[in-house]
Structure 1
Amino acid sequence: MTRLDASDLATRLGREAEAVCRHYLDAGRRQGNYWQVGDARNTPGRSMFVRLKETMKGPAGKWTDAATGEHGDLLDVIRESCGLIDFADVVAEARSFLSMPRPEPAPEKKKNRPSTPAPSGTAEAARRLFAMSKPISGTPVETYFRTRGITALLGTGNLRFHPNCYYRPDDHGPTETWPAMIAAVTDLSGTITGAHRTWLAPDGSDKAPVETQRKAMGDLLGHAVRFGIAGEVMAAGEGIESVLSVRQAIPGMAMAAALSAAHLAAILFPETLRRLYVVRDNDHAGDSARDSLVERANAVGIEAIVLSPVLQDFNEDLRQLDLIAFRANLRGQLALQDVARFCRNAA
């Protein structure tokens, strides 16, 4: 990356300065036009100030630690707070952050007027649920993924954890609370249109022992849970676990989980897309979604290549097959130029 590219990335982060601070410096808090925290490693305290808006004193995102005299930009914050050493990893994390969904800010409350709850199941309710959740690092969500063989979790900021997510068995049953993975469903611009909940056991060892372990809410048709910024090439599949399993072998490729076969068949294509990998499951619904999606892609000039698992789905492949065999099966189905482009940093 050139110095100019790094400067542009820092500028883009500066436009999202408060969101960057809330994500990477969550031990601090906003004070006027600054974010105040102990240091760039996210230590609690008040000696470091991050400028949140451009002023006569300088651009947004610049910070100074009054205790040490250190100063820098938001790329430095990402490096220090994440404990990264290689600048390429800092760049990858920054780009991943910039691809994350942004919940719309809550409307300003009017005096003497209580806030009203969003209607159940709406996109607004989905945005509020996502905003109330927290990053998955160190939570039962991370444990759940690791029990399923999924360890490459960099760039999964659109997945969050809610410790007490409401669960109602049916319209008449009592409401329960269980830990849950909350996945943001976004449109092509990154706006949250819905959310997907996966209820988990308290220790993250499996899904919760409830009748319906997954539920979606909001506007889902055409949209997806996205990992990375799609360019000319991307992959799309049904389940989050299947898509993240494929990502273990093809870590550099943008991917999207449509959450069901019907929604996979209807997923919207980015304008830049030229080649689409269809991550299929080995069942009738998966075959139907594959055929519909391939037909739609070909009709608009997008090359469609189907990725097929050996067993029922790619997460079962990841857990049951030898890792070398798992990677070989996937990479053998890719266009040659994409093997070199996307598979160099496989976990």
Structure 2
Amino acid sequence: MPNPTSDPFSAYGRSAAPIRRELIDAREIEDIRLRHALSDIIGGYTKLRRAGRELVGLCPFHPEKSASFHVNDAKGLYHCFGCGANGDAIKFLRETEGLSFMEALRSLGGSDLPVVSEAARVKAAQEDAEARRQAIADAKAFADRCVDPAGTPAEAYAMARGITAPLPPSIRFGMLPAWRDRETGEWSAPRPAMVGLCVNGGGDLVAIQRIFLRPDGSGKAQMRKPKLTLGRIRGASLRLGPVASEVIITEGPEDGLSLMQELPGASVWVALGTALMPEIEMPPEVRSVVIAGQNDAAGHAAVTRAAEALTLRGLSVRTMFPSAEYRDWNDELRGVAI
């Protein structure tokens, strides 16, 4: 990585003007938006199956082989963790059918789909809130079992990735389970993990990310998904630096720790997923955001979506990417070219 200058971002060639700010107001459309179960509407476009409190299926907005499209009836929202598509019933009809806003409203109002009663809405919302409370409680319980990473496999993993700076307090080490049996409620055997403590806009712990490691910390564990979150990650972030007037947001912990090391004085926050960057809850002190993306098509598309969403929230937004020969910030730190 280039050495930072008085403008720590200038070394990355980020000389473009800030993205234009434009504020919008939301309309009060809850009654129509929640008139029908969102899964009944979307079920006509893609097959959905239940997964916990949500339904999942193949995304109707991009080709995929593994289901990454989630539908939450209690909230009336959908989200694709593959392409980043998200919204409510009105947005879904507008994007799939090419309808205007008013046409989508009329379509929902005149649909012969089953109408969700107010009592059913309240019950679903209560059940969703209870599931959220339990997930956050589990995340907090495991966070309490973690320790300072110094001298642990978590520190060894960071060093193996070229990260030699002291790890911030939001990075911990723990022997934690990877999964829970839905029928018995029992957790799997504990494994060594680097643990990121993730907070909401108010700074409250609402989730953890576990990066499961080899026993010596020389790399990630040999398992299908070595990175797993627990709690409610949407809207949360792994803060590697304090609340500041300007923060850098990026996709993963390794990229975030690389930027933290190479840009001392900057406050770096991790979204834990490219599709989640637009949803990070920002405290009122944050007025400017720098989105640090990755050098591939998906990375550039994710940065564009995040920039648009954050700009509409009234934030000043800039973007930056690694040098062209590197895929991400950690690769650049280690000199691993594409």
The TM-score range, normalised by the shorter chain, is: 0.5 to 0.7
1:160 is matched with: 172
2:215 is matched with: 202
State yes or no: 1:249 paired with 2:266.
Answer: no
Q: What is the distance in 1 between the residues matched to 2:163 and 2:250?
A: 16
- Is contact 2:143-2:197 (8 Å) kept? yes
Change (3 A) 1:210 1:138: same
- Scaled by the length of structure 1, the TM-score of the pair is 0.54
The amino acid across from 1:146 in the alignment is M
Q: For 1:1-347, what aligned pairs fall within 5 Å after superposition? A: 122-154=135-167, 156-162=168-174, 164-168=175-179, 175-310=188-323, 311-320=326-335
Change (3 A) 1:168 1:140: same
The Cα offsets for residues 234-254 of structure 1, whole Å up to 9 and x where unpaired, read as 100110000110111112111
Change (3 A) 1:303 1:161: same
Question: Relative contact order: is structure 1 or structure 2 higher (C-alpha 8 Å, sep ≥ 6)?
Answer: 2
- Is contact 1:169-1:211 (8 Å) kept? no
Change (3 A) 1:121 1:141: farther
Q: What is the distance in 1 between the residues matched to 2:134 and 2:301?
A: 28
- Is contact 1:121-1:217 (8 Å) kept? no
Task: Please report how far the alpha carbon of residue 119 of structure 1 lies from its aligned counterpart in structure 2 after TM superposition.
Answer: 9.3
- Is contact 2:249-2:271 (8 Å) kept? yes
Task: Please report how far the alpha carbon of residue 268 of structure 1 lies from its aligned counterpart in structure 2 after TM superposition.
Answer: 2.0
The amino acid across from 1:130 in the alignment is A
Task: Please report how far the alpha carbon of residue 170 of structure 1 lies from its aligned counterpart in structure 2 after TM superposition.
Answer: 8.3
Q: What is the distance in 2 between the residues matched to 1:197 and 1:231?
A: 26
The Cα offsets for residues 203-240 of structure 1, whole Å up to 9 and x where unpaired, read as 01001111110110111111100022222111001100
Q: What is the distance in 1 between the residues matched to 2:306 and 2:163?
A: 26
- Is contact 1:169-1:212 (8 Å) kept? no
Instruction: Flag structure 1 segments of 5+ consecutive residues without an equivalent.
Output: 1-117, 323-347
Q: What is the distance in 2 between the residues matched to 1:259 and 1:276?
A: 16
Task: Please report how far the alpha carbon of residue 168 of structure 1 lies from its aligned counterpart in structure 2 after TM superposition.
Answer: 4.2
Q: What is the distance in 1 between the residues matched to 2:223 and 2:180?
A: 8
RMSD: 2.5
Partner-residue secondary structure (3-state), 1:128:
helix
The amino acid across from 2:335 in the alignment is Q
- Is contact 1:119-1:125 (8 Å) kept? no
Task: Please report how far the alpha carbon of residue 299 of structure 1 lies from its aligned counterpart in structure 2 after TM superposition.
Answer: 2.5
Task: Please report how far the alpha carbon of residue 317 of structure 1 lies from its aligned counterpart in structure 2 after TM superposition.
Answer: 0.5
Task: Please report how far the alpha carbon of residue 182 of structure 1 lies from its aligned counterpart in structure 2 after TM superposition.
Answer: 1.4
- Scaled by the length of structure 2, the TM-score of the pair is 0.56
Partner-residue secondary structure (3-state), 1:198:
strand
Change (3 A) 1:176 1:119: farther
Instruction: Flag structure 2 segments of 5+ consecutive residues without an equivalent.
Output: 1-130
- Is contact 1:226-1:255 (8 Å) kept? yes
Partner-residue secondary structure (3-state), 1:277:
strand
